[in-house]
């Protein structure tokens, strides 16, 4: 349970960090909060020869709230999101989702960029990013680029990032006034990874019908997914018990979870239905 | 590889300079290099909370931090939270409520609760339970620990009137 020998650098600029990562061609890994990477190294599940600590890189922190939405720097910690009280009005789903992540001590160190790059199938932030059309800002050897969150996650603990790519931030699109939203998660203890979680939001048109429903789930496949069938069941309908029940049934029917040591596939499927129903009931209340 | 690095930080109020391997965790640096064995290691992968120390006023798991990541920070361990002559209010509350049996988890409980109550001296039982979900105790059943934390709050309340959070 001790880490294998390795080197460590703390670059003072983004250029320097990218250069070190490029020079090691995949054998160097970025180190953010270390709350996922250090356990991986302790279990010797990865064998980098160099860690590049992002702590000294300027410009990776900061939460920006504006008419264009919310931008989170890669080194923003769960604690920083919790402490940014303006988010409760500006993007209420974000702090609600973040409040389910990990334990007190881990929340003081775990970061946005680390969570996105780690890509745990049950992690909350990747789920929020996919559900809510987030944009991921990346800087690599060939300069900066942006991708939709849905193009970041390709498998359990794996992303489309190339060796040496750094996530520098994540943007959430503008939040509409009057939007209805909720997040529901089932975990064995507070702070544990979710067995299943469902995030949902929708807007209402002048006639009280649902438009632009966004519903997504974590813990039901190798990476977070949109529950498109549930979204279709909502869009264009007034929100009532029957619509909610139809959306929950559609959500259950479209997921294909696997058995694992935490829960059977059937249990996870049932949870998707229950949590979708609860989320929509809470959103519409 | 196996780089030896010089590390300067502040431990329990005193400046310290040590040489460590890059791979050394903060927990191992505190215990082995500095002899501060009050910080306990239960799991060494972030699950149990026994290794909690306070870095720049925030409770963190010292098994999930490299020592070199502590460069320039202020670290407080359980040794830094005990009065020389008498028990601190938090320690006294632990004793009164029998909030420990074997004592293995206790350093992590004390550091975590000290950080919490310094920041949130009006934390209620639910908040305390929520925070202690990250600290595993196999002996006490938690109820005495929560009772001790609730009682110790008063000692922190003078320091912070605003009752943040
Ligand atoms: C006991 C425990 C419980 C937890 N529970 C939860 C939970 O309920 N929900 C949850 O979501 N998470 C949970 N976590 C994980 C925690 O939130 C991590 O902090 C997070 O997943 C990773 O963030 P980090 O900053 O610690 O990243 P690190 O551990 O430093 O890095 C993780 C990975 O991302 C890479 N990386 C880091 N930053 C970047 C970047 N900017 N660009 C590119 N690659 C990067 C690293 O090289 C590494 O591969 C838990 C962790 C523990 C130990
Ligand atoms: S030893 Fe660090 S959390 Fe268990
Ligand atoms: S007192 Fe024994 S583990 Fe907590």
Can you give the CATH number for the domain in which B71 is found? 3.10.20.30
The mean pLDDT of A37-43, rounded to a whole number, is 97
Which DSSP category does A41 fall into? H
CATH classification of the domain holding B135: 1.10.150.120
Residue at a domain's end among B59, B80, B101: B80
CA distances from B43 to A265, B52, B87, B161 (A): 29, 12, 28, 37
Minimum-distance ligand 1 atom for the alpha carbon of A48: 47
Segments forming the whole domain that contains residue B23: 4-80
Going by pLDDT thresholds of 50, 70 and 90, the confidence category of residue B165 is very low
* Residues B71, B115 within the same domain: no
List the single residue in B21, B52, B69 with the smallest CB-CB distance to A105. Answer: B52
CB distance A97 to A125 below 8 Å? yes
Distance CA A92, CA B27 (A): 37
The proportion of chain A whose per-residue pLDDT surpasses 90, expressed as a percent, equals 97
Distance CA A51, CA A137 (A): 21
Establish if B162 belongs to a structural domain: no
List the single residue in B22, B44, B131 with the smallest CB-CB distance to A8. Answer: B22
- Asked if the model's pLDDT at residue B159 lies above 70, the reply is no
* Residues B111, B145 within the same domain: yes
Give me Rg for the CA atoms of chain B: 16
CA distances from A151 to A1, A135, A155, A158 (A): 34, 10, 11, 11
For A82-130, write each residue's pLDDT tens digit.
Answer: 999 999 999 999 999 999 999 999 999 999 999 999 999 999 999 999 9
Determine how β-strand A50-53 pairs with β-strand A7-9.
parallel
Expressed in angstroms and rounded, the spacing between residue B43 Cα and the centre of ligand 2 is 5
Q: What is the pTM of this model?
A: 0.96
- Asked if the model's pLDDT at residue B160 lies above 60, the reply is no
* Residues B67, B117 within the same domain: no
Distance CA A97, CA A250 (A): 23
Establish if B72 belongs to a structural domain: yes
Structural domain count, chain B: 2
Establish if B161 belongs to a structural domain: no
For A44-84, write each residue's pLDDT tens digit.
Answer: 999 999 999 999 999 999 999 999 999 999 999 999 999 99
- Asked if the model's pLDDT at residue B90 lies above 60, the reply is yes
Mind listing the domains of chain A with CATH numbers? 7-56 (3.30.43.10), 63-172 (3.30.465.10), 180-284 (3.30.390.50)
Residues of B in contact with A1 (CB under 8 A): 44-45
B158–chain A nearest CA distance, Å = 22
Give the number of A-B residue pairs with CB atoms closer than 8 Å.
Answer: 99
Q: Which residue ranges have their beta carbon within 6 Å of ligand 2?
A: B 41-44, 46-51, 61, 63
Q: CB A15: neighbour CB atoms within 10 A?
A: 11
| CA A271 distance to own-chain centroid | 19
Q: What are the residues whose beta carbons fall under 8 Å from the beta carbon of A191, sequence distance 6 or more?
A: A100, A101, A102, A103, A104, A106, B130, B133, B134
């Amino acid at each position: 349970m001790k880490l294998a020998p390795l080197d460590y650098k703390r670059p003072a600029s983004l250029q320097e960090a990218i250069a070190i990562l490029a020079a090691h061609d995949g054998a160097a890994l970025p180190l953010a909060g270390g709350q996922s990477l250090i356990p991986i190294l302790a279990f010797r599940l990865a064998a980098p020869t160099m860690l590049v600590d992002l702590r000294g890189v300027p410009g990776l922190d900061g939460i920006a709230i504006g008419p264009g939405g919310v931008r989170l720097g890669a080194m923003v910690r769960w604690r920083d999101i919790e402490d940014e009280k303006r988010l409760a009005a500006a993007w209420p789903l974000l702090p609600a989702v973040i409040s389910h992540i990990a334990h007190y001590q881990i929340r003081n160190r775990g970061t946005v960029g680390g969570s996105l790059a780690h890509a745990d199938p049950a992690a909350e932030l990747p789920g929020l990013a996919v559900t809510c059309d987030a944009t991921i800002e990346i800087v690599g050897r060939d300069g900066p680029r942006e991708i939709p969150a849905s193009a970041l996650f390709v498998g359990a603990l794996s992303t489309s990032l190339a060796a040496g790519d750094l996530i520098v931030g994540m943007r959430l699109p503008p939040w509409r006034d009057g939007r209805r939203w909720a997040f529901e998660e089932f975990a064995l203890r507070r702070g544990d990874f979710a067995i299943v979680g469902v995030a949902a939001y929708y807007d209402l048109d002048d006639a009280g019908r649902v438009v632009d429903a966004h519903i997504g789930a974590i813990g039901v496949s190798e990476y977070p997914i949109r529950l498109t069938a549930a979204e279709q069941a909502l869009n264009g309908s007034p929100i009532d018990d029957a619509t909610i029940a139809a959306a929950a049934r559609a959500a259950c029917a479209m997921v294909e979870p696997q058995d694992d040591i935490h829960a059977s596939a059937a249990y996870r499927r049932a949870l998707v239905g229950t949590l979708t129903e609860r989320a929509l009931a809470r959103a519409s209340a | 590889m196996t780089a030896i690095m010089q590390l300067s930080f502040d431990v329990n109020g005193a400046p310290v300079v040590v040489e460590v391997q890059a791979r050394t965790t903060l927990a191992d640096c505190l215990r082995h290099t500095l002899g501060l064995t009050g910080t306990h290691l239960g799991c060494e992968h972030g699950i149990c909370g026994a290794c909690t120390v306070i870095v720049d006023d925030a409770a963190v798991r010292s098994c999930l931090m490299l020592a070199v990541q502590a460069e320039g920070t202020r670290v407080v361990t359980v040794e830094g939270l005990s009065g020389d002559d008498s028990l601190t209010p938090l320690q006294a509350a632990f004793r009164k409520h029998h909030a420990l049996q074997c004592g293995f988890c206790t350093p992590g409980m004390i550091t975590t609760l000290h950080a919490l109550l310094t920041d949130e001296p009006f934390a209620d039982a639910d908040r305390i339970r929520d925070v202690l979900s990250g600290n595993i105790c196999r002996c006490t059943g938690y109820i005495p620990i929560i009772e001790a934390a609730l009682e110790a709050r008063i000692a922190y309340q003078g320091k912070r009137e605003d009752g943040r959070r």
